[in-house]
Each structure stands twice: as C-alpha cells, then as structure tokens.
Amino acid sequence: MNISVKKIILTGGIIALIAGCAKEVSVDTSHMSKQYFDAWMSVNHPGATPSGLGVYIIDDTPGNGPAVTDDDFVILADYTSTDMEGNVNSTTQEKLSQQLGTYSAANYYGADIIVNDRSYTETGVLEMIKGMKVGGKRTAIIPSWLYVVADFDTEAKYIKENGGATTIFTISIVDKAKDIVEWEIDSLKRFVSKNMGINPADSVKFGFYSKTLVQPTDTATFSSDTSFYINYTGRLLNGHVFDTTIEDTAKVHGIYSASKTYGPMYVTMSPETKNITISANSSESGSTTIDGFSFCLSRMRPMEKVICAFYSTLGYGYSGSGSSIPKFSPLMFEIEAVETPKEELL
C-alpha cells in the first residue's frame, strides 16, 4: 500500500470558439495544470523555490538523528496530507483524526512505513525527504505531476504524464532501515523479551516465537487429520487489536461489528501446514490463513492457550491488510483451543 490519497482534478478539457467558429481546439491539459499551479504558488507562496525535481519545501525543522540515504529501504514516518485548500486527506495522527471526526478504533494510527523506491511511493514524497534526518519534520508542496508512482528522470516527463493531485505533505521521520527484515526481527526480539518473557534466542523458527499461556490437557499436538475449535485475538505489537472471535473483546477495543458473528472458529488440520483451514463451523468450507497463524495452529495441543508472534513475511508482508494492519507489520495472536460449541453437538 502506497500513501496515495484521493485525486483532485485540477483542469479538464477546454473547448474554445475561435473566430466565431464552433471548432474544438486541442489543449495540452498538463501544460494548463502547470500554469494553474504556478499561478496558485505566486499567490500563496510567492518567492518559494523548487528543489529536486520540483517540490517546494515551505517549512523544515532539522532532526538530530542519522540522515536518510538512498541506501535506506524504508523510512518510518508520521505524516499528514492536505489538498490545496487545506482539507486533510490522510493522516497517521490519532488526535487529528478525532478532531476531524474521521477516527475509527479499528484503524491503525501511528508511524507508517514509506518504501524508499519510486516503484512503491510517490516521487514527490521521496523528493521531499531527501536530506532529512531522523527526528526531523518537513512540510512541502508536491505538484500534481510529482504526486504519482512513476520513475522518470526529468520534471518535464512527469508534467507530460501528470496523473496525480497537488498535495501538501507534512512528514516527521521516526526511524529508517536499510534492511526491513533485520529491522522487523530486531523489533520482534525486543517485544518478546519485554512482553512475553522469551529469550530472543529461543525462536521456534526464524521470525516466529510461541509461548504457552494455559497448559494443555494432552502433551501431544493435534494430529493432521483432526479438527477442533478455537477462539483468538490478533494484535499489532503496540497492542492494537485488529481481529477477534470474542464479542466482549471486540466491544472493549471498539472494533465490534453487528454484522459479524462472534464465537469459536472451526479448524481443520492438514499434513501440510499451509493447507490448515478455519471456518465458522463444521458445515462450512474453510479458508487458509496467513502462514504464521497456520504454523501456530500446527503446534497446538488440546485445550491449550498460546501466544504467537511473528514477522510480516509470515503475515501480510508489504501489502498489510486494510486500514488496521500497516505494511511490514509483525503480528501476535492469542489462540485458545476450546470446547466444541453446544449447537455443534446437537
């Protein structure tokens, strides 16, 4: 998921009448967009000069941390974007969302990852963070032709294509990393050491940790040809709950939905971990899950409750999941094997 926001059409096609003849005249709309932007800048930010391919930095508070370089694969940042009239299009700030009336407890708020590559992130965003340091804050005006995911070498080529929307961005750099896997694993190790009481060296497999919270009634794991019921709650490492089968938990964390049926889920085991499925009950066809969740299920024993934590390669990776799980997010799940619901015994 890149950090694009809704598009604003600055100009459209223009039909002109010349010399009294109703004749359609071909107009370069990208050129008109440039003229419109230049006129807007002359009124709102006279004297501002562009940098890089053509972004305008209008406020800059230097940071004291290490500088962002081309070698950094990801940048962790807080940001807010607005249109040319100052209307907020997107933000990572919880308080601002509450003030705007757009807040949802189901959404993730906090620093988001910007991938330092034009194949994933708008060129103008990457241009504006050049030279920034961790701890720094910068506001820049990104013309519509640079607020696109593309890789051209000149401003003229971007202007010709012009498929974006002029955006005013404020970004605060929180962290950066050259290797996203190493960065995630370090975060995961700190988490399991502090919150799960696990020695970071005791990984079950690379990027995966597990701990028993309630002892099982049998020491043997479920066989590959059995089925059982579970309750679970999924969280980000910061504690944000993004999914649960437990109605009270959903209500407490503000993610309850009246359209969702809460209750234990039916797990069908398989010789291949990737083929383990879950469904609402035994009569419905099951769906496979993310690798970390399936691997956790494969290790469970009767009536056991466990907590599993794993890096995003075993989760949702670069894409994340909706507005609740950002890209490259390690996840943790509390999973409990429970009794078969009464209605299933009838």
Asked if 66 and 176 touch (Cβ cutoff 8 Å), the reply is yes
**2 is a domain residue:** no
Q: What was the pLDDT predicted at 30? A: 73
CB-based contacts of 92-96 (< 8 A; 24+ apart in sequence): none
Do 193 and 337 share a domain, yes or no? yes
Give the integer Cα–Cα distance in Å for 188 and 310.
7
- Its pTM stands at 0.86
**21 is a domain residue:** no
Averaged pLDDT score across all residues of the chain: 90
From 140, 156, 178, the end of a domain falls on 178
Give the integer Cα–Cα distance in Å for 315 and 342.
32
Do 223 and 328 share a domain, yes or no? yes
**41 is a domain residue:** yes
Provide the percentage of residues in the chain whose pLDDT is more than 90: 86
Do 99 and 211 share a domain, yes or no? no
* DSSP summary character for residue 339: P
**127 is a domain residue:** yes
Residue 135 lies in domain: 29-178
**193 is a domain residue:** yes
**Buried-state track 241-276, b at ≥16 Cβ within 10 A, e below 16:** bbbbbbeebbeebebbeeeeeeebbbbbbbeebeeb
Assign 139 a pLDDT band (cuts: 50, 70, 90). very high
From 155, 178, 201, the end of a domain falls on 178
CATH number reported for the structural domain that contains residue 215 in this entry:
3.10.50.40
From 178, 201, 222, the end of a domain falls on 178
Do 188 and 236 share a domain, yes or no? yes
Q: How many domains does the chain have?
A: 2
Q: Please write the tens of the pLDDT for every residue from 324-340.
A: 999 999 999 999 999 99
**88 is a domain residue:** yes
Do 34 and 131 share a domain, yes or no? yes
Do 169 and 276 share a domain, yes or no? no
